[in-house]
Chain A
Amino acid sequence: MPSPIDLAELPFLREALFELVLLAITGGVLGAWVVLRRLAFFSHAAGSATFPGLVVADASGVSPIVAGLAVALGYAGGVERTGGSGREHGEGTALFLVAALATGVILASDVFESGAAVDRLLFGTLLGLGTGDLVLSAVVALVATAAAVALGRTWSAVGFDPEGAEALGLPTRRADLLLLGLVAVAAVAAIPAVGALLVTAVYVLPAAAARMLTGSIRGLIACALVLALAEGVAGLYLAYWLDLPPGPPVAVLGAAVCLVAAALPRRTA
C-alpha cells in the first residue's frame, strides 16, 4: 500500500490533487444547483456530449478543451432552447445527447481513427494534466462561486416557483441559460481528470448525498463541497494504489456515499 503522503510529494499526484480540489469547489457550489434544479441528467450528458468534439480534436490537433467547450456550450444552448424557463430539460437533454454520441461514434469509427487520447478523455487520467487544465478548473471554480453568490436567489426563485419567477419579471431564460452554460463548461473542465463519462461523479453524486443530509441551500453547498473533496482525495489515492484512472474510483466512492446517505433517516421533506 503506497503512502498517502505521496499525493502531496509526487509532482504528478500533487497536480492531480490540486485539480480535484478545484473540481470539488465547483462540485460543491455548482453541484448543489445541479441537484436542486434537477439537472443531474444534463450534467452527465454535457460531459458525454463532448465526445464528437474530442474525436475531432484528437484527429485535427485542436485542443480538446477548446473543442469540448465549443460542443458543450452549443449543447447547453440547444437544450435550453427546447425547454421552458425554470422547467426540466429532460427531453432536450436526451435528444442532443443521442445526437452527439451518434455523431461521435460515426466520426470515431468511419471518419477519423480514434486514438488513445480519446479514451483518456472519456475516463480521465492522472498523467498529463497540464497547466492549462489546472487554470481552466481554477477559473471555473472562481466563476461558479461568484455566479452562485450573485445569482443564487434568482436560481432559487426560478427553481422554487417558475411561474412566480416569471411574474416577478425575472429573466428566467437568461438565468437558466447561464446555469446550463456554467454546468457545461464545468463538465469540460472535469474531463481531463475524471473523464467525460464520469463528470457526474464530481458534480452530481456529492451534492445528491448532501441533499439527503441537509435542509438548507447553504448547508447543501457546504456538505457537497466537503464530500466532493473527501471523495476526490480518497478516489485519487485509490487510483494511485490500484493503478486505475481516477474517474472510476471517485465515482464508486461517490455512489457508495450516496447509498449510505439514502439509508440514513431523511432530514429533508
Chain B
Amino acid sequence: MTAIEVEGLAAAYDGAPVLTEVSFEAAPGQSVCVLGPNGGGKTTLFRVLLGELEPVAGRLEVSGRPAYVAQTERTRLDFPVTALDVAVMGTLTHGRWWLPASRSDRAAARAALDRVGLADQAGIRFGELSGGQRQRALLARALVQDAQVLLLDEPLSGVDPASATLISGVFQELRAEGRTLLVASHDVESARTFDLVLCLNGRQVAFGRPDAVLDRATLEATYGHELIVLEGGRGAVTVQHHEHGHED
C-alpha cells in the first residue's frame, strides 16, 4: 500500500521542461526529504502533487488531496488575520468556500492550534507572531485539512529551537498516525533522520534510504558547486542552507 506513487513524471512550464524522470513511492507513515538546489524542481514536484500543474509525462497517484505548508515568507504579514483565522482557512478544503466558518470549523482550528502549542496565541495577529510561531500557525492550517499526505516547504527554516522541537514532535505524531510527509529542505544533515531521501536537480538524481543515497557523489550531482563538504568528509551543507542560517 502506498500513499504516493510517482512513475516517470515530467513537468514543464510553457513547454520548457523543468523536471524529468521522477519515480518514487512512499508508504503511509513514511517521511521523505526532498533535497535539491533552488530551481531543482522541489516546488514543481509539489505543484504537480497538489494538482496545480499538469505533468507532461508519467503518472502519479496520491492518497487524497495533500495539505501544503508554505514558507512563511510567502504570506502577507500586514494582513489583519489572527493565528486562529489562519488555522480556520484550512477548513476551506472541505468544499464550502462560499460559506462563513461554522462553529465546528472554529473548533477544529482551535484543536490544531492547541496541537502546535499556539492555543494561547490564537487571537494574536499573524504578523505579530515570531517566525517559529508563524510556521506553527501554517502547520495548524494544514493539520485542519486532515490530509493523508502533507507537503512541507522548508518547515524548519528560520525557526527558533523551541518551535523546531515542537514541529518535529508533531511530525512524529503525524507519521505515527499513518500520514506521509514530504519535506523540501536544503539541510543535508537533517535529511539523514528521514525514512527516505529524494534528490532532485531538474531530474531525479537519487531516491532511497538516507544511508544509501547521501554519499558525496550523489550530493555533488544534486548540488554541484553549491555543496560544501565539511572537514574530514563527515558531513556536508549546501550554500542555501548555509545562507539561511545567517539570515535567521
Interfacial residues, chain A to chain B (CB-CB below 8 A): 36, 149-154, 156-157, 159-161, 163-171, 175, 214-217, 219-220, 268-269
Contact B77 A269 (CB under 8 A): yes
Q: How far is the CA of A159 from the CA of B126 in the complex (A)?
A: 13
Question: How many Å from the CB of A269 to the closest CB on chain B?
Answer: 5
User: Which of A152, A154, A159, A170 is packed against the most chain B CB atoms within 10 Å?
Assistant: A154
B128 within 8 A of A: yes
Known contacts A268-B78, A268-B80; decide if A168 and B90 are in contact (CB<8 Å): yes
Q: How far is the CA of A169 from the CA of B64 in the complex (A)?
A: 12
Contact B92 A217 (CB under 8 A): no
Known contacts A150-B100, A152-B100, A269-B127; decide if A160 and B92 are in contact (CB<8 Å): no
Contacts of B82 in A (CB 8 A): 216
User: Which chain B residue has the least Cβ–Cβ distance from A218?
Assistant: B80
User: Which chain B residue has the least Cβ–Cβ distance from A152?
Assistant: B100
Contacts of A165 in B (CB 8 A): 89, 92
Contact A150 B76 (CB under 8 A): no
Contacts of A171 in B (CB 8 A): 97
Q: How far is the CA of A161 from the CA of B81 in the complex (A)?
A: 11
Contact B125 A154 (CB under 8 A): no
Q: How far is the CA of A217 from the CA of B80 in the complex (A)?
A: 6
Partner of B97, one of A154, A159, A216: A154
User: Which of B52, B67, B89, B125 is packed against the most chain A CB atoms within 10 Å?
Assistant: B89
Question: How many Å from the CB of A27 to the closest CB on chain B?
Answer: 18
Known contacts A153-B101, A160-B89; decide if A166 and B76 are in contact (CB<8 Å): no
User: Which chain A residue has the least Cβ–Cβ distance from B123?
Assistant: A216
Contacts of A220 in B (CB 8 A): 80
Partner of A167, one of B50, B81, B86, B99: B50
Partner of A150, one of B80, B85, B99: B99
Query: Per-position contact with A for B61-95: 1 when CB-CB < 8 Å, else 0?
Result: 00001011010001111111110011011101100
Contacts of A153 in B (CB 8 A): 85, 88-89, 92, 100-101
User: Which chain A residue has the least Cβ–Cβ distance from B75?
Assistant: A161
Q: How far is the CA of A156 from the CA of B75 in the complex (A)?
A: 12
B141 within 8 A of A: yes
Contacts of B145 in A (CB 8 A): 168
Q: How far is the CA of A217 from the CA of B84 in the complex (A)?
A: 13
Question: How many Å from the CB of B176 to the closest CB on chain A?
Answer: 24
Q: How far is the CA of A248 from the CA of B89 in the complex (A)?
A: 40
Known contacts A164-B138, A168-B89; decide if A175 and B97 are in contact (CB<8 Å): yes
Contact A217 B81 (CB under 8 A): yes
12 contacts between A and B (CB under 8 A): A149-B100, A153-B92, A156-B79, A160-B76, A160-B89, A160-B126, A168-B145, A169-B93, A215-B80, A215-B125, A268-B78, A269-B77
Known contacts A170-B97, A217-B81; decide if A164 and B88 are in contact (CB<8 Å): no
Apart from the given pairs A161-B76, A215-B125, 8 other A-B contacts in the complex at a CB distance below 8 Å: A153-B85, A164-B89, A164-B141, A170-B97, A175-B97, A214-B80, A215-B80, A217-B80
Known contacts A163-B70, A167-B68; decide if A157 and B80 are in contact (CB<8 Å): no
User: Which of B74, B79, B80 is packed against the most chain A CB atoms within 10 Å?
Assistant: B80
